[in-house]
Structure formats: C-alpha cells, structure tokens
C-alpha cells in the first residue's frame, strides 16, 4: 500500500462506509481530533515512568481505535463498551483516595510523562468539542460521556505520574541523607524497645503533661514504626491521636526529630515534599523524637496536645526516663 494516493488533493476523503466527505466536514474534523489524541497518548506512553500509568495509557489507545471506527462508520452498530465510562470513574475514585488532596488549580507538568499526559488531556477536550458539534448537527452521541470522563481520567493519570516520581525522588534523598548522616553502621537498628522502657517513658511524659496542666496524647513506636505504647489523657483532643502517632513514626522512620524534618522539608531543602509520602504519615512540626540507644535507633516517641514547645517538653521528659 502506497503512503500517498493523491485522492485527497482536492480536499475530499471517504468515511469507512464509502461515503464521500469534505476534509472540512465536522465528522472528519472529529476523526482527526481523536487521531491527535491517540498520538499524544503515544508520546505520554513513551515518557511516563510509572508502570501502572503506562498500562492505563496503552489500554486507552486501544479504546480510541474503536472511537475512531465509530466516527468513521456513522450507520454501523456501535461497538463502544458502555462499561468503559464506569471503569474510568472507579479508577479515578481509587486514584484520588491514594493521592494527596488537590487544592486549587495545578500547573500542568511536573515530569515529562505528566506533562505529556496533560497534553493528551487537552487533546481529549478538543476531540470532545468536535464530537459535540457532530452531535449538534446529527443527534446524540454515545461518545460524549466517554470523552468527557476520559479527560478527567487523563488528568488523574498525570497526577499519579507526577506524585510517584516525587515519592521516588524523596525516597532517594532520604536514603542518601541517612547514609551521609549515620553511615552504614548507624543506619542499623538496635535491640527492640522493651515494654518496661515504654512504661517508664509513658509515665514520665504523663507526669510532665499533668504538671503543665495540658491533657496530651503520647505514643511510642518500635524501630519498625509499629505502635508499641499509647496514652490518651482524659480531655486530650481526638485530633491529637493521629498526630502523636505520626510524630513517633516520623522520628523512627527518619531517625530525626520532627522539628528537624520540618526544616528539611522546606522548599529547596533535602526532604522537600516528604510529607506527601508514606501515605501521609510524615509529620513536619515539633513534638517527635527518635529513641536512640548506643547510637542506634530503637523507636520513636511522639506527643501532641499543646504547643510545639510544650509537646517537645513532654517528649523530652519521657526520653529522660530512659536515662
């Protein structure tokens, strides 16, 4: 088959059923927009690094062949799967539950793959507008819900691609930072934090909180980040529960106080963006400390309920009980 035929030199083409049409026809324009969308997805597929995002983009490319056939064969029976829209919605909901909440408008980009997916999203919107013009002229189209939901789906895929790239970058910085700060020997864990040690910390921290007159939540985790001891004083805020546990986890995971983590999480610093990792468990303000024995981390202690300074005061009292 030759690449060129000269058949369209006069601005005419044929649809799949043999019907002649101008290349300026609304349906032909819609076909071109869908083709452009598929090409944009091909670029995104080549640039995306996340395997799940790549698989999703490849699946949509296959669907777009059916969409194109639908536009090119106006009299044929529809081959569009009605379940595609529902699957888009399910995957969008699952992705948004896993992603950090979106606050306001986001600038397109972040990574080459995410940027290419945004280009595909805008191409999808253009294809949708072209199909709307066909529908206005010829009647309702089953393609409109599909293209409308697909653009939302591509937006979420771009966010996933950018977010997972951020997680990989932060994890690499954390590993490099720990290796530089602690060395291989210091990065190892010490023996387990005992129940008796936790009891002493909890009691000392609670006494200090009572002396300050502030009901607090006190949490200790072991070296693996698992909750080892927990105390919610009468009257302590419910919101302080997750915060205290998060502080303990952060200090154990990064072997730094949460105040130090907060400083390193500022824009341009080594751990910028880390609060978006670990399923949102990282806390970047004071009140958490690593529990260290013989230069080896054995856990983390977190306190919440007062000001940052008061939380740190109570946590230090608990640590002092370990000598």
CA 158 to chain centre: 10
- In tens, the pLDDT along 7-59 reads 555 566 666 565 756 666 788 888 989 999 999 999 999 999 888 899 999 99
Domain extents in the chain: 12-170, 195-320
Paired sense of beta strands 217-222 and 227-232, if any: antiparallel
Q: What share of the chain in percent tops pLDDT 70?
A: 85
pLDDT at 4 over 70: no
Cα(66)–Cα(147) distance, integer angstroms: 12
CA 40 to chain centre: 22
CB distance 285 to 185 below 8 Å: no
Cα(8)–Cα(213) distance, integer angstroms: 85
pLDDT-derived band at 82 (thresholds 50, 70, 90) equals confident
Range 195-320: architecture per CATH: 2-Layer Sandwich (3.30)
pLDDT at 166 over 60: yes
Residue 109 DSSP code: -
> Computed from CA positions of residues 313, 314, 315, 319, in that sequence, does the dihedral angle turn out positive or negative?
positive
| Whole-number pLDDT of residue 68 | 87
**The domain made up of 12-170 is a member of CATH 3.30.565.10:** no
- In tens, the pLDDT along 243-295 reads 999 999 999 988 889 999 999 888 878 788 888 777 788 999 999 999 988 77
> What's the mean pLDDT in 122-148?
90
Cα(157)–Cα(47) distance, integer angstroms: 13
pLDDT at 108 over 70: yes
Nearest to 221 by CA among 311, 147, 291, 321: 291
Count CB neighbours of 200 within 10 A: 16
Token digits for 234? 């009468």
Phi and psi torsions of 302, nearest 5°:
-130, 140
| Whole-number pLDDT of residue 309 | 94
pLDDT at 190 over 50: no
Nearest to 178 by CA among 264, 305, 61, 273: 264
Cα(191)–Cα(93) distance, integer angstroms: 42
CB distance 257 to 316 below 8 Å: no
Looking at mean pLDDT, say which of 109-118, 133-142, 214-223 comes out highest. 214-223
Paired sense of beta strands 227-232 and 288-293, if any: unpaired
* CB environment 98-124: b (16+ within 10 A), e (fewer): eeeeeeeeeebebbbbbbbbbbbbebb
Cα(69)–Cα(63) distance, integer angstroms: 10
Supply the pTM of this predicted model. Answer: 0.55
pLDDT-derived band at 76 (thresholds 50, 70, 90) equals low
């Amino acid at each position: 088959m030759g690449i060129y035929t000269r058949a369209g030199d006069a601005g005419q083409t044929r649809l799949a059923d043999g019907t002649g049409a101008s290349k300026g026809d609304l349906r032909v324009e819609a076909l071109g927009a869908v083709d452009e969308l598929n090409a944009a997805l091909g670029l995104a597929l080549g640039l995306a690094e996340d395997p799940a995002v790549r698989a999703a983009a490849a699946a949509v490319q296959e669907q777009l062949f059916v969409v194109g056939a639908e536009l090119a064969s106006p009299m044929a029976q529809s081959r569009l799967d009605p379940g595609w829209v529902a699957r888009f919605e399910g995957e969008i909901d699952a992705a948004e539950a896993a992603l950090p909440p979106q606050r306001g408008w986001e600038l397109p980009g972040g990574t080459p793959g995410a940027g290419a997916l945004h280009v595909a999203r805008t191409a999808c919107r253009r294809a949708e507008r072209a199909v709307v013009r066909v529908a206005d002229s010829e009647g309702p189209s089953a393609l409109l819900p599909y293209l409308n939901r697909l653009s939302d789906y591509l937006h979420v895929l771009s966010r996933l691609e950018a977010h997972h790239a951020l997680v990989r970058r932060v994890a690499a910085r954390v590993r490099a930072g720990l290796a530089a700060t602690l060395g291989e020997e210091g990065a190892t864990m010490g023996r387990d934090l005992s129940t008796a040690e936790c009891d002493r910390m909890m009691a000392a921290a609670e006494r200090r909180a009572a002396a300050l007159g502030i009901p607090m939540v006190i949490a200790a985790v072991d070296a693996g980040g698992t909750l080892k001891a927990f105390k919610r004083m009468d009257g302590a805020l419910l919101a302080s529960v997750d915060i205290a546990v998060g502080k303990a986890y952060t200090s154990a995971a990064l072997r730094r106080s949460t105040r130090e983590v907060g400083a390193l999480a500022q824009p341009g610093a080594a751990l910028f963006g880390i609060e978006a990792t670990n399923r949102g468990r990282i806390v970047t303000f004071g009140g958490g400390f690593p529990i260290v024995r013989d230069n080896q981390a054995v856990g983390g202690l977190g306190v919440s309920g007062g000001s940052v300074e008061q939380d740190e005061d109570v946590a230090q009292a608990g640590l002092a009980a370990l000598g």
